Chains A and B, each alone.
Chain A
Amino acid sequence: MLHGPAAKKEEDKAALRKSKLGLKLFFVYGLIYAGFVVVGVFRPELMGVRVIWGLNLAIFYGFGLIILAIVMGFLYHLACSRLEDNLNIKEEKK
């Protein structure tokens, strides 16, 4: 079962829109990530400021980047699945 031929490649009508969405989300996350680096470089003293639940900015921002990646990943998948279902099924119906 594990060793059949490599899966055949089908045309994906949603590919372009998924790619654009992925690029947008990449830039959003990239900006937030860059914000972390910029604070570290230009205002490192802010990293020690306590922001919430007793956690300092360094910990809050660091955990936030990890959790945000997971959340954005789920949302991206939901959006892509919807696009695939809509566009590829519509195409099949035609």
Chain B
Amino acid sequence: MIYDVSNLAVLIFIVFVALVLLLSFYFARKTKTSSGYFAAGGTIHWGVNGVAFAGDYLSAASFLGIAGMIAFAGYDGFLYSIGFLAGWVVALFVVAEPMKRMGTFTFTDALDHKYNSRSIKLTAAISTLVVSIFYLIPQMVGAGDLVVPILGLPHWAGVVIVGSVVIFIVATAGMTSTTYVQFLKGGLLIVFSVILTAYILRKGLETEPNPEHHHFVSLEVTTDPFGEIILEDDSQYTLQEGISTGNDSFYLLEKDGISNWFHLDESDDGLFLNEMLTIVIDAEGNVLYNGAPRTERLFYQVGHVSRVISDGEEVESSGPLNPFSFLTRIEDSEIVRYIRIAFDFNGSSVVAWYPEVTPGTDIMKPGLFYRLEGASIWEKLNFVSLMLALFLGTAALPHILIRYYTVPSPRDARKSTIVAIAAIGSFYILTLYMGLGAMVSGVLDMESSNMSAPLLARSFGLGIFAMISAVAFATVLGTVSGLIVASSGAIAHDLVDKFFKVKMEDRVKVRAGKIAAFGVGILGIIVGILLQGMNVSFLVGLAFAVAASSNLPAIIMILFWDKTTGRGVSASIMVGIVSSVLLILLSPTMFERYGLAREAALFPLDNPGIVSIPLAFITLIVVSLLTRRRELTA
């Protein structure tokens, strides 16, 4: 690994987990009824519920994923912050109060309240499970990413630890313990994000971000009459091999028994071989980081400002900055980012990152990840599809919607939503500072964008790193608890009780909910281990697309279209789920995951919302019109 295990972080993490477990024990003795288990008795104070909303919603995707994406791709990561927050407007203005009025424990209750339809019960429960599991995957992946630097454990161990603690939280006291864990986590997350941002602004921008910052080797080279590369005699490196892929050429150089890949760059000053970050997996499965085992620590943390421009002058350090000048200084300066490339060589697979100087003006506007200037129609549609899914997805997330049942009245539901918007909005503004701070502080681990914020904290000292790491763990615990409560309600309340009509005493129903929580938790652990390495923000973006496609058309049409029928609702939910999941599986990113070319993807967009959301609306309208007469006469 490229960073040390922090004993303080381990200690704080253990204290936090102990606190959470004690809280769960305390509430477990009081949770005897299904109302208590699934909806905390409907008596949570709106202020607590509002912060718990933030704790529920600000998931690993928000804290780890968005900060990481901003750190790697600049403003494009901030698009998620804007879209995620805008989604709360839909929740507040359209969904909050009706959901509270119509439902009891689950999202399915609300959809089904005027139809009493078995098909709605079944499809809405399936939808809750699919969306929650899609959302659960990135939380678990994020948990695994966190334990590597904090506890020094492998990725899978993090997933197992978080999964086990969350199963305990939910299986003991259900929504009550979940609410207080989320309240605690939401509050801590905002407070420590403010502190981390204050550190970032105080430090400002520096060309030498930290004392351990590695200076990558750049060798001037010439070519012989045949175009072969010749190294300078005093370079101490030996040229071993070379390969060209597309417009890029790479050369394997050896020094002191360690071989690593260099990238050939041509500039006005001449030809240069520039050292890269590489991970090479040879035919026997051995993994080398910059030519050596990972324990040798040659896989450096990167990302820095190459030219700091302050008031038109080039300086080495900007000094402390205010929230506005931090952003404008970055826009004026130049930042070194690392661009990923992969190729095969003599049976080994090579993943490499080479440095590229990027103007701050490009960092501070969309385009590095979602290319917009000179983009193809598909690239533009991909952007629109993402923004649509983020806007419409929040109000359709079952684990968020069930939080409306934990407060006493629709008025409280509204007030808690406003507290949530204020808390979440403030946090999302801070993500821009945390992401950009990580981008310029020489802390990025190119293997894991999700670790950017905790590693940034580590550069300011072990104390803040330990707290931020513990908060990041809490982030995962809080959100996963909410997801498991939602899934448990879908299984025990919607399916077993309402759909299969299994007669259960209240006490047995609570037990069924706990068993369901256990099962979903185990499933989350398995998929979290299998999908290691994916950016959690991207995965959550897909969960939003599935939610917006399967649930939102049904919610909106039930509220605002009198001709909506039960069959129309269930058909819309199924079409939304199937189309969005299918399009995701056929998308370029998934093709890359299968080891195929992005261009070979059968669906050209990464985000399916722009197709699947309208499709679900159309399905609901058509099926409702076709079945209206039959339902009226039934």
Contacts and interface: CB of A to CB of B under 8 A. Distances in A.
Interface in A1-17: 1-7, 9-10, 12, 15
B383 A69 contact: no
Contact of B364 (A1, A15, A26, A56): A56
B44 to A, nearest CB: 7
B40 A62 contact: no
A65 interface: yes
Contacts of B373: 44-45
A44 B33 CA distance: 55
Given A76-B93, A77-B415, A6 B101 contact: no
B340 interface: no
Contacts of B418: 73-74, 76-77
B601 interface: no
A67 B407 CA distance: 26
B43 interface: yes
B414 A77 contact: yes
Interface in B49-81: 75, 78-79, 81
B328 interface: yes
Interface string A17-35: 0110011011001100100
Given A9-B101, A12-B410, A81-B411, A3 B93 contact: no
A41 B97 CA distance: 34
The CB with the most chain B CB atoms within 10 A, among A15, A25, A26, A74, is that of A26
B594 interface: no
Interface in B412-469: 414-415, 417-418, 421-422, 425, 428-429, 432
Interface in A40-94: 40-41, 44-45, 47-48, 53-59, 62-63, 65-67, 69-70, 72-74, 76-77, 80-81, 84
Contact of A41 (B331, B383, B415): B383
Contact of B92 (A4, A67, A73): A73
Interface in B370-410: 372-373, 375, 380, 383-384, 387, 391, 405, 407-410
Interface stretch (B82-90, B193-201, B266-274): B82-90
B35 interface: yes
Interface residues of A, number: 50
Contacts of A48: 361, 364-365
Given A7-B409, A63-B429, A54 B176 contact: no
B41 A6 contact: yes
The CB with the most chain A CB atoms within 10 A, among B39, B42, B89, B101, is that of B89
Nearest to A58: B365
Contacts of B411: 80-81, 84
Contact of A5 (B30, B42, B361): B42
Contacts of B415: 77
The CB with the most chain B CB atoms within 10 A, among A44, A53, A54, A80, is that of A44
A76 B40 contact: no
A23 B93 contact: yes
B256 to A, nearest CB: 45
A7 B43 contact: yes
Contacts of A15: 97, 101, 410
Contacts of A69: 85-86, 88-89, 421, 425
Contacts of B138: none
B364 A29 contact: no
Nearest to B35: A6
Nearest to B380: A41
B38 to A, nearest CB: 10
Given A2-B44, A3-B40, A45-B373, A72 B409 contact: no
A9 B304 CA distance: 57
B381 to A, nearest CB: 9
B327 interface: yes
Contact of A47 (B365, B414, B421): B365
Given A7-B42, A41-B384, A66-B82, A22 B94 contact: yes
A44 B367 contact: yes
B410 A66 contact: no
Contact of B94 (A26, A36, A58): A26
Contact of A7 (B36, B364, B408): B408
Contacts of A19: 97-98, 559
Contacts of B560: 23
A58 B41 contact: no
A65 B417 CA distance: 17
A3 B366 contact: no
Contacts of A12: 101, 410
B367 to A, nearest CB: 6
Nearest to B75: A58
A64 B35 CA distance: 40
B82 A73 contact: no
Nearest to B415: A77
10 contacts: A2-B40, A5-B41, A15-B101, A22-B93, A30-B391, A40-B387, A41-B372, A47-B365, A59-B75, A76-B418
